[in-house]
Chains A and B, each alone.
Chain A
Amino acid sequence: MTDEMYCDPDDNAIDLVEIEFQDGTLYFKAEDDDHLESDDFRKLEGPKNAILRNLNNQVLMKKSGMDIAVLEDMTDCEIQANAPQTTFIMQAYKETVPNGLAIAILVRSKNQIYSLSCQNKELQFKEGAAPNHIASTTSDFIFYQKKVIGHEKMQFESSLYPGYFLACEKEQQGYFKLVLKEGCEEADKFMMFIVQYC
């Protein structure tokens, strides 16, 4: 045993990371990628099924054979009869930089799963499930579910187009369609939905 340099290994050591100089830029090498994370969304366990309604109590349903969703008056029996197109799967995602409750909205129809996408500010149900891992801070699948203060109502803001929300709009033909609309953060009743988890 020699009179070694006094160094208590556990508490006083400073971890040095490997550094590398490349093209005029200094890079720090992570020992393992545990400490480095690029901003992304990662699927969380336990998607929840829900029935979505607008403030007029109309129920959201994916129209079979089409990639849009409509809102109609329905009795409970009718909701069941129209299943699974009335049962929406709310898949939560974990974010590296949390911005609220990030979710993707999926639905099954005729043995195929669809995911709601707001690409190009147009809402459509794309075939397939939203990916488990989205390596970006925005996605056409991801919406932020926000509760309206003092009410049991939710708003869904697009992560790809901030300021744009899921809304209910009456079409010329007389039916109500689920669309993406620009909002004033939290205002319009047409942008509010009631989420009934089942």
Chain B
Amino acid sequence: MLSLYCIFLWLVLRVGVKGASDLSGCPSTENTWRYRARSGEKFLLFCDVPKPGLCKKRNVSMRQMCGGTLCQRVQWYKQPQNGSQPYAIQNDHPHITWENNLLQFSPIGINDAGSYICAIKYKPKAIKESRKSKEVTCFLNITVEVQPKEKTPCMDSVKNELYLLIGSTDSVPCPGVNCEGDLQRQDVTWYKNGMLCPYWKNTHIVFDEIYHQDHGVYVCDYNQSINSTWWLVRAVVEVKTVVKNTSLAPIIVNPTNDPVTLEVELGMPLTLECKVHFGQERNFNPVVKWYVEDAELNREELRQANISIDNQVERQTIYYTACLKQVTKKDLQKTFICFAQNSVGNATWTIKLKQKRRDGKEFDAFVSYAKQDSFDSLDPSSLNEESFALDLLPKVLEKKYGYTLCLFERDVIPGGVYTEDIVKIIKQSRRVICVLSPSYVSSPTVFELQAAVNLALEDQTLKLILIKFSPFKEPDSLPHRVKKALNVLPTITWRSSKSTPSNSRFWNCVRYHMPVKNHQGLGEKGCKIFPRIFSLRKKEENYSL
């Protein structure tokens, strides 16, 4: 065995140690350290002798570490092989980083062997003298030799990363020490997270009960004599603590009313968030999906989604948010299902959509217009009031601007009593749009206007919008109340060719009087953002007729 080592030594690069001036006041008695590392492993060098630490207190916070000299500004230099000037190591190497007084190799390679110098500013303890103690710069010379890992005798049993189960009894072995013989040795030096742990001297650190605070970066050093020189063999173990695999299926933490319904607005985007708690597992393969199911039980996955994960020691929480660009009427008939699964089991959560009705009214506006006789079309080229009401109004207000209108012919189930139906519908509407014309005021349809006026007096939220489709003379037979209303209520005049385009003053004025759409969020993270500042909207539409 020993001869093999000798051969390896000749093959491995070694550099002569350059003597450096030793400034008095520096803490370490030796200013030269020699370490042996194995290639391919993570390796650390400390500048300055780490102080015996608070290792007994298992948790070492950065705050505590910085209490001593550990966080002084340190500069690392590498001495090149050819004997030229040492150069400062910058933090631009992919595998060499330095933080505070630590030089870290992830991993160390054959080419990293050589001589390193670290300069640390050190302030010696105040001596009882008249002058203040000056800050000195101490130098530490460190020689590192790197042994190729493949040649390590028991490479397989060298563990540089360990997972310890919290609550169990376990031990942290110094990697590789058992390969080189003496398992009983009690001269191993251990460091945890950069602090010296004087109570640990054996080749293994035994924990009779693992706590989360036992995680960290452990370093073990032991002496080894090779060819009559003493080297410190150093190895690094990253210890991570885990909880045992969960025995629970995932838990969906969304609110559980029964049934769960969400009020939505048609045409608006919708976000559906599913919050799931998962227990920890070594082989963690969580599944979270949103499905939409229709009446025939056909399921389709909602693919557009965001995922965010909150990972804690004892559990992981996954927030899975699906996005619907626009809620359609069909979506109100569908069921939305969140599905979550881990290796133990699965869970589901369902939600249905309901149309939002702030004030309990179903329609934004009821359209009242005179039904045409087939002989009444005076001007075939211009729009008649029936097609204005049945075609143009819905085209602009419903399709373009997203309002919900009620048209008697279209939306009322026949067979009821006309007058009762009218009163019922007007009560279900936020506005009543009356298309006024000579035919309107002289036809039975004027009852609808009368009903609207009366109902508006009872219900403050109901308002009338009068559209003067064509000029007319008020018949005397009209009830007094209706006459008064015609004088006082806002009237928008239809000017055929000018008013037809959907962005005309006419339509802007109609929209001004229509109910405001509610854009308050259903889930603040919407698919799109529709900023609607009330004052801005009003400014746009303040047109005079």
Interface residues of A (CB under 8 A from B): 1-3, 6, 8-12, 148-151, 183-188
Contacts and interface: CB of A to CB of B under 8 A. Distances in A.
B368 to A, nearest CB: 17
Interface stretch (B347-355, B385-393, B485-493): B485-493
B169 to A, nearest CB: 13
Contacts of A186: 59, 211-213
B241 interface: yes
Nearest to B460: A9
- In the A-B complex, the 10 residue pairs with the smallest Cβ-Cβ separation, listed nearest first, are A150-B166, A149-B212, A184-B57, A150-B243, A187-B58, A184-B59, A149-B313, A187-B59, A187-B57, A3-B490
B456 interface: yes
A186 to B, nearest CB: 6
Nearest to A152: B167
Contacts of B60: 184
A165 to B, nearest CB: 12
Contacts, number: 65
Contacts of A151: 166-167, 209, 211
Given A2-B488, A149-B314, A150-B166, A184 B61 contact: yes
Nearest to B541: A6
Contacts of B210: 150
Interface string B519-536: 010000000000000100
Contact of B489 (A1, A148, A188): A1
A78 B338 CA distance: 52
B200 interface: no
A10 B59 contact: no
Nearest to B485: A1
A1 B457 contact: yes
B512 interface: yes
Interface of B: 54, 57-61, 64, 166-167, 209-213, 241, 243, 313-314, 358-359, 456-457, 461, 485, 488-490, 512-513, 515-516, 518, 520, 534, 538
Nearest to A188: B57
Contacts of B461: 8-9
Contact of A1 (B54, B166, B211, B488): B488
A150 B241 contact: yes
Contacts of B58: 184, 187
B515 A8 contact: yes
Contacts of B167: 150-151
Contacts of B518: 11
B488 A3 contact: yes
Given A3-B488, A3-B489, A11 B516 contact: yes
Contacts of A149: 166, 211-212, 243, 313-314
B311 to A, nearest CB: 13
Contacts of A1: 456-457, 485, 488-489
A150 B457 contact: no
A10 B457 contact: no
Q: Which of B59, B60, B512, B520 has the most CB of A within 10 A?
A: B59
B281 to A, nearest CB: 14
Given A1-B485, A3-B488, 7 more contacts: A8-B461, A150-B241, A186-B213, A187-B57, A187-B58, A187-B213, A188-B57
A135 B428 CA distance: 50
Contacts of A150: 166-167, 210-212, 241, 243, 313-314
Contacts of A148: 211-212
Nearest to A8: B516
B244 to A, nearest CB: 8
Q: Which of A3, A11, A148 has the most CB of B within 10 A?
A: A11
Nearest to B520: A11
A190 to B, nearest CB: 11
Contacts of A6: 512-513, 538
Contacts of A9: 461
Contact of B359 (A2, A10, A185): A10
A167 to B, nearest CB: 13
A148 B518 CA distance: 47
Nearest to A192: B211
Contacts of A183: 57
17 contacts: A1-B457, A1-B488, A3-B490, A8-B516, A149-B211, A149-B243, A149-B313, A150-B212, A150-B314, A151-B166, A151-B211, A183-B57, A184-B64, A186-B213, A187-B58, A187-B59, A188-B57
A52 to B, nearest CB: 19
Nearest to A149: B212
